[in-house]
Chain A
Amino acid sequence: MFKFFQPNKIFQITSKAPKYVLFLFIVVLSVGLTEALILSPEDYKQSDAVRIMYVHVPAAWISLGIFSSITLLSISGFVFKNKNFFLISKSLAPSGFVFNIIALVTGSIWGKPTWGTWWAWDARITSMLILVLFYAMYLISWRIYENEEKVFKISTIVTINVPIIKYSVDWWNTLHQPASINILSKSSIHSSMLFPLLIMTAAFALFSLLIFLMKYNTELIKIKNKGLDRL
């Protein structure tokens, strides 16, 4: 089953894919920006400040999604003794880290006109800040240890923070609003705002895919460079 995940087979696809993904990303981002900045309506309460949602929410979703994927891949790599899973999770981390920073900074910018403050030690915001520190720790640990199992331990310890972030707005009384979009029940967001939000999410997902592919190719070439040294 895991033969498909062998670097030799994947590289044929991953080496050619970035240029197509980049093209698709530019197209989807252009549509998303037009929708988010021009065509979508202003909010009756927040006015035009609501447009910050179109960068803040997708960035937060993707940074959380990437960390969950890193954990799942690390566990799979440990269970199935497949090093390629560790390589995939290592290549996902830089975009997750940057998306986490974007979520924090844009959230802070959004907080000023809506809450009257740049920062609040609220459960959701604080847990996102902790996640960015974990991301940094994960990236640094790859530089310090070449041993995947040590890095695996770090990523599994961090996983506990992901459900805390997700449910922080339900478990505690926070300044941050509860989720407006729910897969299992009806969303409280109007379709005129949901549509640009989904397009921007697709654009951000394409960007993280692009960075992942480039980083994965770099890591593979790094391994092959070491292989040439041993010849």
Chain B
Amino acid sequence: MINELLFMNGYGVYVLSAFSFTLLSFTALYLVTKIQFVKEQSKFVAKFGSLNAEKANSAKSQRINKEILANATNN
């Protein structure tokens, strides 16, 4: 059964390499995008941490900044 599934009437090497290439591309794209996201998020947290109290309060008045910080601490 497993041999039949892998052999696919002689086309197994073509079918499985097409599917493998697709899944590998998905994994690579996901990882690259995730790394870029985490990098930007960490940069934001670091920059936010270096602000003085007045500037931090002003930045926190924007809802999106609060959301970014909340997501960063949740991850």
Q: Is A51 an interface residue (CB 8 A)?
A: yes
Alpha-carbon distance between A215 and B68 when the two chains are bound, in angstroms: 14
Alpha-carbon distance between A231 and B18 when the two chains are bound, in angstroms: 50
Asked whether, in the complex, the Cβ of B21 is within 8 Å of the Cβ of A214, the reply is: no
Interface residues of B in 38-75 (CB under 8 A from A): 40-41, 43-44, 47-48, 51, 55, 58-59, 62-65, 67-68, 71
Asked whether, in the complex, the Cβ of B62 is within 8 Å of the Cβ of A8, the reply is: yes
Instruction: Name the A residues within 8 Å of B37 (CB-CB).
Output: 214-215, 217-218, 221
B41 closest partner in A (C-beta): A221
Alpha-carbon distance between A113 and B44 when the two chains are bound, in angstroms: 51
Instruction: Name the B residues within 8 Å of A98 (CB-CB).
Output: 25-26, 29
A15 closest partner in B (C-beta): B71
* Binary per-residue interface labels of chain A (60-86) against chain B in the complex, 1 for a CB within 8 Å, 0 otherwise: 000000000000000000000000000
B-side interface size class: 35 or more
> Interface segment, A99-107, A130-138, A170-178?
A99-107
Instruction: Name the A residues within 8 Å of B3 (CB-CB).
Output: none
Task: Select B64's contact among A49, A215, A218, A224, beta carbons within 8 Å.
Answer: A224
Asked whether, in the complex, the Cβ of A94 is within 8 Å of the Cβ of B64, the reply is: no
Instruction: Name the B residues within 8 Å of A95 (CB-CB).
Output: 29
Asked whether, in the complex, the Cβ of A106 is within 8 Å of the Cβ of B44, the reply is: no
B48 closest partner in A (C-beta): A228
Asked whether, in the complex, the Cβ of A218 is within 8 Å of the Cβ of B47, the reply is: no
Alpha-carbon distance between A83 and B49 when the two chains are bound, in angstroms: 29
A38 closest partner in B (C-beta): B5
Asked whether, in the complex, the Cβ of B33 is within 8 Å of the Cβ of A215, the reply is: yes
Task: Quote the shortest CB–CB distance from B52 to chain A (angstroms).
Answer: 10
Asked whether, in the complex, the Cβ of A231 is within 8 Å of the Cβ of B40, the reply is: no
Asked whether, in the complex, the Cβ of A231 is within 8 Å of the Cβ of B58, the reply is: yes
Alpha-carbon distance between A19 and B11 when the two chains are bound, in angstroms: 36
Q: Is A199 an interface residue (CB 8 A)?
A: no
With a 10 A CB-CB cut-off, give which of B33, B34, B71 has the most chain A CB atoms: B33
Asked whether, in the complex, the Cβ of A8 is within 8 Å of the Cβ of B64, the reply is: yes
Alpha-carbon distance between A202 and B72 when the two chains are bound, in angstroms: 30
Task: Quote the shortest CB–CB distance from B1 to chain A (angstroms).
Answer: 10
Q: Which residues of B contact A (CB under 8 A)?
A: 5, 8-12, 14-15, 17-19, 21-22, 25-26, 29-30, 33-34, 36-37, 40-41, 43-44, 47-48, 51, 55, 58-59, 62-65, 67-68, 71
* Contacts beyond the supplied A106-B22, A218-B37, A225-B43: 5 A-B pairs with Cβ under 8 Å: A11-B67, A15-B71, A36-B19, A105-B21, A211-B30
Q: Which residues of A contact B (CB under 8 A)?
A: 7-8, 11-12, 15, 33, 36-38, 42, 47-49, 51-52, 55-56, 59, 94-95, 98, 101-102, 105-106, 109-110, 112-113, 207, 210-211, 214-215, 217-218, 220-222, 224-225, 227-229, 231
